[in-house]
Structure 1
Amino acid sequence: MSIESLRNILIPPNSPNETGAGESWPFVDENVTFPMDYVEFINIYGTGRIADFIALLNPFTKNFDLNFFEQKKLIIEDFNYLIDEDPSYYKYNLYPKLNGLLPVGITDNGDYIFWVVTDLKDSNLWKTAIIASRSPDVEYFDESITSLLSGILLKKIKPDSLPDNFPPNQIIFDGI
Protein backbone atom coordinates (compact mmCIF):
# COMPACT_ATOMS: atom_id res chain seq x y z
CA MET A 1 0.00 0.00 0.00
CA SER A 2 1.15 3.49 -0.68
CA ILE A 3 0.65 6.90 0.81
CA GLU A 4 -2.39 7.21 -1.47
CA SER A 5 -4.00 4.20 0.22
CA LEU A 6 -3.37 5.77 3.61
CA ARG A 7 -4.85 9.08 2.47
CA ASN A 8 -8.11 7.28 1.69
CA ILE A 9 -8.31 5.97 5.26
CA LEU A 10 -6.77 8.86 7.18
CA ILE A 11 -7.88 12.24 5.86
CA PRO A 12 -4.97 14.71 5.93
CA PRO A 13 -5.39 17.98 7.80
CA ASN A 14 -6.20 21.09 5.76
CA SER A 15 -3.28 22.98 7.32
CA PRO A 16 -0.67 20.47 8.47
CA ASN A 17 1.90 21.61 11.06
CA GLU A 18 5.66 21.25 10.69
CA THR A 19 5.79 19.58 7.29
CA GLY A 20 9.18 20.99 6.49
CA ALA A 21 7.67 22.73 3.46
CA GLY A 22 10.30 24.81 1.77
CA GLU A 23 13.10 23.15 3.75
CA SER A 24 15.59 20.55 2.62
CA TRP A 25 15.03 17.14 4.08
CA PRO A 26 17.80 16.21 6.49
CA PHE A 27 19.58 12.88 6.47
CA VAL A 28 18.97 10.26 9.16
CA ASP A 29 22.78 10.16 9.53
CA GLU A 30 25.47 11.26 7.10
CA ASN A 31 24.25 9.83 3.76
CA VAL A 32 21.30 7.77 5.05
CA THR A 33 18.04 9.14 3.67
CA PHE A 34 14.54 8.77 5.02
CA PRO A 35 12.18 6.38 3.16
CA MET A 36 10.10 8.20 0.53
CA ASP A 37 6.74 7.06 1.93
CA TYR A 38 7.69 8.60 5.29
CA VAL A 39 8.81 11.83 3.58
CA GLU A 40 5.44 11.95 1.79
CA PHE A 41 3.62 11.26 5.08
CA ILE A 42 5.34 14.15 6.88
CA ASN A 43 4.85 16.44 3.86
CA ILE A 44 1.11 15.67 3.80
CA TYR A 45 0.27 15.24 7.51
CA GLY A 46 3.00 17.04 9.46
CA THR A 47 3.09 16.54 13.22
CA GLY A 48 0.11 14.90 14.86
CA ARG A 49 -1.63 11.84 16.24
CA ILE A 50 -3.25 9.03 14.33
CA ALA A 51 -6.57 7.82 15.75
CA ASP A 52 -5.73 9.49 19.07
CA PHE A 53 -3.09 6.81 19.74
CA ILE A 54 -0.09 6.72 17.35
CA ALA A 55 2.38 9.49 16.58
CA LEU A 56 5.17 9.34 14.03
CA LEU A 57 8.35 11.15 14.93
CA ASN A 58 9.06 14.19 12.77
CA PRO A 59 12.47 15.72 11.99
CA PHE A 60 10.88 19.18 11.61
CA THR A 61 8.94 19.45 14.87
CA LYS A 62 10.11 21.61 17.74
CA ASN A 63 8.23 19.30 20.14
CA PHE A 64 11.04 17.42 21.92
CA ASP A 65 8.82 14.38 22.57
CA LEU A 66 8.05 13.97 18.85
CA ASN A 67 11.28 15.21 17.28
CA PHE A 68 12.85 12.41 15.27
CA PHE A 69 16.46 13.29 16.08
CA GLU A 70 15.92 13.87 19.81
CA GLN A 71 13.89 10.70 20.25
CA LYS A 72 16.16 8.61 18.03
CA LYS A 73 19.05 9.40 20.34
CA LEU A 74 17.11 8.78 23.57
CA ILE A 75 15.32 5.62 22.48
CA ILE A 76 18.44 4.00 21.05
CA GLU A 77 20.39 4.91 24.22
CA ASP A 78 17.64 3.41 26.40
CA PHE A 79 17.43 0.20 24.40
CA ASN A 80 21.23 -0.12 24.22
CA TYR A 81 21.29 0.13 28.02
CA LEU A 82 18.74 -2.69 28.29
CA ILE A 83 20.69 -4.86 25.84
CA ASP A 84 23.95 -4.22 27.71
CA GLU A 85 22.30 -5.12 31.03
CA ASP A 86 20.77 -8.38 29.80
CA PRO A 87 21.83 -9.43 26.27
CA SER A 88 20.21 -12.86 26.67
CA TYR A 89 16.82 -11.21 27.27
CA TYR A 90 16.96 -8.41 24.69
CA LYS A 91 17.96 -10.13 21.47
CA TYR A 92 17.77 -7.57 18.71
CA ASN A 93 20.07 -5.15 16.92
CA LEU A 94 19.72 -1.42 16.98
CA TYR A 95 20.54 1.13 14.33
CA PRO A 96 23.17 1.68 12.85
CA LYS A 97 23.81 -2.09 12.78
CA LEU A 98 22.46 -3.93 9.76
CA ASN A 99 18.90 -5.09 10.45
CA GLY A 100 18.96 -2.68 13.36
CA LEU A 101 15.86 -1.03 14.73
CA LEU A 102 15.49 2.72 14.17
CA PRO A 103 12.60 4.44 16.00
CA VAL A 104 9.97 6.12 13.86
CA GLY A 105 6.85 6.19 16.05
CA ILE A 106 5.32 5.81 19.49
CA THR A 107 1.94 4.91 20.93
CA ASP A 108 0.09 6.25 23.94
CA ASN A 109 0.76 2.90 25.65
CA GLY A 110 4.52 3.38 25.38
CA ASP A 111 5.02 0.99 22.46
CA TYR A 112 7.71 1.85 19.92
CA ILE A 113 7.40 1.57 16.15
CA PHE A 114 10.67 1.03 14.32
CA TRP A 115 12.09 0.79 10.87
CA VAL A 116 14.18 -2.32 10.34
CA VAL A 117 17.23 -0.91 8.59
CA THR A 118 18.08 -3.64 6.09
CA ASP A 119 20.05 -1.44 3.71
CA LEU A 120 21.94 1.79 4.44
CA LYS A 121 21.96 2.81 0.77
CA ASP A 122 18.23 2.36 0.01
CA SER A 123 15.88 3.28 2.86
CA ASN A 124 12.88 2.45 0.67
CA LEU A 125 13.66 -1.22 1.35
CA TRP A 126 13.21 -0.82 5.10
CA LYS A 127 10.46 -2.80 6.78
CA THR A 128 8.89 -2.16 10.19
CA ALA A 129 8.69 -3.59 13.69
CA ILE A 130 6.92 -2.87 16.98
CA ILE A 131 8.18 -3.44 20.51
CA ALA A 132 5.42 -3.35 23.10
CA SER A 133 5.99 -1.33 26.23
CA ARG A 134 8.16 -3.21 28.75
CA SER A 135 8.56 -6.22 26.46
CA PRO A 136 11.68 -7.89 25.06
CA ASP A 137 9.71 -9.23 22.09
CA VAL A 138 9.75 -7.66 18.65
CA GLU A 139 6.93 -8.02 16.12
CA TYR A 140 8.31 -7.74 12.60
CA PHE A 141 6.24 -6.69 9.60
CA ASP A 142 7.08 -6.97 5.93
CA GLU A 143 5.61 -3.49 5.42
CA SER A 144 6.79 0.07 4.90
CA ILE A 145 5.66 2.57 7.53
CA THR A 146 2.68 3.79 5.50
CA SER A 147 1.60 0.28 4.49
CA LEU A 148 1.85 -0.82 8.16
CA LEU A 149 -0.34 2.10 9.21
CA SER A 150 -2.83 1.41 6.40
CA GLY A 151 -2.99 -2.26 7.33
CA ILE A 152 -3.52 -1.48 11.01
CA LEU A 153 -6.19 1.15 10.34
CA LEU A 154 -8.01 -1.20 7.93
CA LYS A 155 -7.75 -4.00 10.53
CA LYS A 156 -5.84 -6.16 8.03
CA ILE A 157 -2.78 -6.15 10.30
CA LYS A 158 -3.32 -6.75 14.02
CA PRO A 159 -0.13 -6.27 16.03
CA ASP A 160 -0.23 -8.17 19.33
CA SER A 161 1.06 -5.07 21.11
CA LEU A 162 -1.85 -2.81 20.19
CA PRO A 163 -5.12 -2.80 22.16
CA ASP A 164 -7.93 -5.05 20.97
CA ASN A 165 -10.21 -2.03 20.48
CA PHE A 166 -7.75 -0.26 18.17
CA PRO A 167 -8.37 1.28 15.75
CA PRO A 168 -11.59 3.03 16.70
CA ASN A 169 -14.49 3.28 14.29
CA GLN A 170 -13.73 6.92 13.58
CA ILE A 171 -10.13 7.39 12.43
CA ILE A 172 -8.87 10.95 12.55
CA PHE A 173 -5.48 12.63 12.23
CA ASP A 174 -5.12 15.35 14.87
CA GLY A 175 -2.46 17.90 14.03
CA ILE A 176 -0.38 19.12 16.93
Structure 2
Amino acid sequence: MPPLTALTALCRPPAVVPPAPNWPQVEDTLGKALPQDYKELITTYGPGQFCGFITLYQPHAPSEWADLTGPMPACLRGQIEEVQRAARHPWPLPHSPENLFPMGVTGNGGYLFWITQPADTPDEWTIAVNEALRAPWFTYNGSLTAFLVSVLSRTTRVPMFPKDLLDHGPVFAPSALESSTPAAAPGHP
Protein backbone atom coordinates (compact mmCIF):
# COMPACT_ATOMS: atom_id res chain seq x y z
CA MET A 1 0.00 0.00 0.00
CA PRO A 2 1.44 3.43 -0.90
CA PRO A 3 2.42 5.45 2.19
CA LEU A 4 -0.15 8.23 1.58
CA THR A 5 -2.95 5.66 1.27
CA ALA A 6 -1.76 4.02 4.51
CA LEU A 7 -1.60 7.42 6.23
CA THR A 8 -5.10 8.46 5.18
CA ALA A 9 -6.40 5.09 6.41
CA LEU A 10 -4.72 5.66 9.80
CA CYS A 11 -5.43 9.36 10.10
CA ARG A 12 -8.30 10.92 8.20
CA PRO A 13 -7.42 14.11 6.30
CA PRO A 14 -9.69 17.14 6.66
CA ALA A 15 -12.66 17.47 4.33
CA VAL A 16 -11.56 20.97 3.28
CA VAL A 17 -7.97 21.99 2.64
CA PRO A 18 -6.53 25.17 1.15
CA PRO A 19 -5.63 25.08 -2.54
CA ALA A 20 -2.35 23.33 -3.29
CA PRO A 21 0.69 25.57 -3.46
CA ASN A 22 2.21 26.35 -6.83
CA TRP A 23 4.91 23.68 -6.45
CA PRO A 24 7.17 24.85 -9.32
CA GLN A 25 7.16 28.34 -7.81
CA VAL A 26 7.90 26.96 -4.33
CA GLU A 27 10.80 24.91 -5.68
CA ASP A 28 12.14 27.94 -7.59
CA THR A 29 12.03 29.97 -4.37
CA LEU A 30 13.89 27.23 -2.47
CA GLY A 31 16.34 26.57 -5.29
CA LYS A 32 15.69 22.83 -4.99
CA ALA A 33 13.11 20.22 -5.84
CA LEU A 34 11.02 18.77 -3.02
CA PRO A 35 10.03 15.14 -2.44
CA GLN A 36 6.85 14.16 -4.26
CA ASP A 37 5.44 12.53 -1.12
CA TYR A 38 5.72 15.85 0.78
CA LYS A 39 3.86 17.70 -1.97
CA GLU A 40 1.09 15.07 -1.97
CA LEU A 41 0.96 15.10 1.85
CA ILE A 42 0.58 18.89 2.05
CA THR A 43 -1.98 18.88 -0.77
CA THR A 44 -4.00 16.17 1.03
CA TYR A 45 -3.81 17.45 4.61
CA GLY A 46 -2.99 21.16 4.43
CA PRO A 47 -1.73 22.92 7.55
CA GLY A 48 -2.29 21.40 10.97
CA GLN A 49 -0.87 18.96 13.51
CA PHE A 50 -0.59 15.22 13.71
CA CYS A 51 -1.55 14.03 17.21
CA GLY A 52 -1.33 17.59 18.51
CA PHE A 53 2.44 17.23 18.31
CA ILE A 54 3.94 17.13 14.79
CA THR A 55 3.59 20.24 12.62
CA LEU A 56 4.99 20.25 9.10
CA TYR A 57 6.27 23.49 7.62
CA GLN A 58 4.14 24.75 4.75
CA PRO A 59 5.15 26.85 1.73
CA HIS A 60 4.23 30.52 2.24
CA ALA A 61 2.75 29.94 5.72
CA PRO A 62 1.38 33.05 7.43
CA SER A 63 3.98 32.72 10.20
CA GLU A 64 7.68 32.82 9.34
CA TRP A 65 8.17 30.18 12.07
CA ALA A 66 6.20 27.63 10.02
CA ASP A 67 7.09 28.85 6.53
CA LEU A 68 9.06 26.32 4.50
CA THR A 69 10.00 29.10 2.07
CA GLY A 70 10.84 31.66 4.76
CA PRO A 71 13.96 32.28 6.84
CA MET A 72 13.39 29.41 9.31
CA PRO A 73 15.26 26.62 7.45
CA ALA A 74 18.45 28.70 7.03
CA CYS A 75 18.15 30.05 10.58
CA LEU A 76 17.94 26.55 12.06
CA ARG A 77 20.92 25.32 10.03
CA GLY A 78 22.91 28.32 11.28
CA GLN A 79 21.91 27.59 14.87
CA ILE A 80 23.04 23.97 14.53
CA GLU A 81 26.42 25.14 13.21
CA GLU A 82 26.79 27.69 16.02
CA VAL A 83 25.89 25.19 18.76
CA GLN A 84 28.37 22.73 17.26
CA ARG A 85 31.16 25.36 17.21
CA ALA A 86 30.44 26.48 20.78
CA ALA A 87 30.26 22.96 22.25
CA ARG A 88 33.27 21.67 24.12
CA HIS A 89 32.53 18.21 22.86
CA PRO A 90 30.28 18.50 19.79
CA TRP A 91 27.80 15.69 19.38
CA PRO A 92 27.70 13.69 16.18
CA LEU A 93 25.27 14.94 13.55
CA PRO A 94 23.57 12.52 11.17
CA HIS A 95 24.94 14.68 8.32
CA SER A 96 26.56 18.06 7.88
CA PRO A 97 24.24 21.03 8.56
CA GLU A 98 24.11 22.07 4.90
CA ASN A 99 22.50 18.68 4.14
CA LEU A 100 19.83 19.08 6.85
CA PHE A 101 16.72 20.90 5.63
CA PRO A 102 14.19 21.65 8.41
CA MET A 103 10.61 20.84 7.46
CA GLY A 104 8.76 20.37 10.72
CA VAL A 105 8.64 20.97 14.44
CA THR A 106 7.36 18.99 17.41
CA GLY A 107 5.42 20.04 20.46
CA ASN A 108 8.45 19.50 22.70
CA GLY A 109 10.78 21.77 20.72
CA GLY A 110 12.32 19.15 18.47
CA TYR A 111 12.70 19.51 14.72
CA LEU A 112 12.17 17.29 11.70
CA PHE A 113 14.69 17.50 8.86
CA TRP A 114 15.15 16.03 5.44
CA ILE A 115 18.62 14.63 4.96
CA THR A 116 19.04 16.08 1.47
CA GLN A 117 21.37 13.49 0.00
CA PRO A 118 21.54 12.86 -2.87
CA ALA A 119 20.72 16.54 -3.44
CA ASP A 120 19.30 16.02 -6.93
CA THR A 121 17.06 13.09 -5.93
CA PRO A 122 14.61 14.42 -3.31
CA ASP A 123 12.45 11.30 -3.42
CA GLU A 124 15.39 9.45 -1.82
CA TRP A 125 15.80 11.91 1.06
CA THR A 126 15.45 10.39 4.51
CA ILE A 127 14.35 11.89 7.83
CA ALA A 128 16.20 13.10 10.90
CA VAL A 129 14.59 14.19 14.16
CA ASN A 130 16.38 15.94 16.95
CA GLU A 131 15.73 17.42 20.33
CA ALA A 132 16.03 21.23 20.35
CA LEU A 133 19.02 21.33 17.95
CA ARG A 134 21.10 19.17 20.28
CA ALA A 135 21.75 15.49 20.75
CA PRO A 136 20.18 13.02 20.51
CA TRP A 137 19.36 12.57 16.85
CA PHE A 138 17.04 9.93 15.43
CA THR A 139 17.16 8.98 11.76
CA TYR A 140 14.55 7.19 9.70
CA ASN A 141 15.52 5.56 6.43
CA GLY A 142 12.46 6.45 4.38
CA SER A 143 10.24 9.27 3.17
CA LEU A 144 8.36 11.74 5.36
CA THR A 145 5.01 10.08 4.67
CA ALA A 146 6.43 6.62 5.41
CA PHE A 147 7.89 8.06 8.65
CA LEU A 148 4.48 9.40 9.70
CA VAL A 149 2.83 6.06 8.90
CA SER A 150 5.49 4.21 10.88
CA VAL A 151 5.20 6.50 13.91
CA LEU A 152 1.39 6.70 13.88
CA SER A 153 1.02 2.93 13.48
CA ARG A 154 3.43 2.35 16.41
CA THR A 155 5.90 0.54 14.16
CA THR A 156 8.64 3.09 14.88
CA ARG A 157 9.26 4.63 18.29
CA VAL A 158 11.13 7.94 18.23
CA PRO A 159 12.87 8.20 21.64
CA MET A 160 12.31 11.95 21.99
CA PHE A 161 8.57 11.74 21.24
CA PRO A 162 6.28 11.43 24.27
CA LYS A 163 5.26 7.93 25.27
CA ASP A 164 1.60 9.01 25.31
CA LEU A 165 1.69 10.43 21.76
CA LEU A 166 -0.90 7.94 20.51
CA ASP A 167 -3.05 7.61 23.63
CA HIS A 168 -5.95 9.19 21.72
CA GLY A 169 -5.14 7.43 18.46
CA PRO A 170 -3.62 8.89 15.31
CA VAL A 171 -5.42 12.15 14.52
CA PHE A 172 -4.84 15.19 12.36
CA ALA A 173 -6.17 18.56 13.51
CA PRO A 174 -6.26 21.10 10.68
CA SER A 175 -5.30 24.69 11.34
CA ALA A 176 -8.15 27.16 11.06
CA LEU A 177 -8.59 28.21 7.45
CA GLU A 178 -8.50 31.93 6.85
CA SER A 179 -11.83 33.22 5.66
CA SER A 180 -12.06 35.89 2.99
CA THR A 181 -15.62 36.67 4.07
CA PRO A 182 -16.01 38.88 7.13
CA ALA A 183 -17.91 37.30 9.99
CA ALA A 184 -21.36 38.64 10.69
CA ALA A 185 -21.70 40.86 13.74
CA PRO A 186 -23.25 39.12 16.77
CA GLY A 187 -27.02 39.06 16.54
CA HIS A 188 -27.01 39.61 12.76
CA PRO A 189 -27.45 36.85 10.15
TM-score by length of 2: 0.82
User: Partner residue of 1:57?
Assistant: 57
- The percentage of counterpart residues that share the same residue type is 19
User: Partner residue of 2:37?
Assistant: 37
CA distance in 2, matches of 1:60, 1:33: 16
> Mind listing any 5+ residue stretches in structure 2 that lack a counterpart?
176-189
User: Partner residue of 2:3?
Assistant: 2
Counterpart code for 1:46: G
8 A contact 2:79–2:133 mirrored in 1 = no
CA distance in 2, matches of 1:38, 1:105: 11
CA distance in 2, matches of 1:77, 1:123: 22
User: Partner residue of 1:166?
Assistant: 165
8 A contact 1:3–1:146 mirrored in 2 = yes
User: Partner residue of 2:148?
Assistant: 149
Shift of the alpha carbon at 1:24?
Answer: 3.9
SS of equivalent residue, structure 2 residue 135: coil
Change (3 A) 1:103 1:119: same
Shift of the alpha carbon at 1:81?
Answer: 1.2
Counterpart code for 2:172: F
- Residues 90-169 of structure 1: pairs in structure 2 closer than 5 A: 90-92=91-93, 93-95=96-98, 100-133=99-132, 135-169=134-168
8 A contact 1:114–1:128 mirrored in 2 = yes
Per-residue CA deviation, residues 87-119 of structure 1 (Å, 9 max, x unaligned), is 741332112xxxx22111111100111111111
Counterpart code for 1:7: T
Q: Which runs of structure 1 show a deviation greater than 3 angstroms over 4 or more consecutive aligned residues?
A: 22-25
CA RMSD of aligned residues (A): 1.9
8 A contact 1:101–1:116 mirrored in 2 = yes
User: Which region of structure 1 is more displaced relative to structure 2, 141-150 or 161-170?
Assistant: 161-170
8 A contact 2:110–2:129 mirrored in 1 = yes
8 A contact 1:18–1:61 mirrored in 2 = no
- Residues 60-99 of structure 1: pairs in structure 2 closer than 5 A: 60-70=60-70, 71-86=72-87, 88-92=89-93, 93-95=96-98
CA distance in 2, matches of 1:18, 1:63: 18
Of structures 1 and 2, the larger Rg is shown by: 2
Change (3 A) 1:143 1:35: same
User: Aligned residues, how many?
Assistant: 170
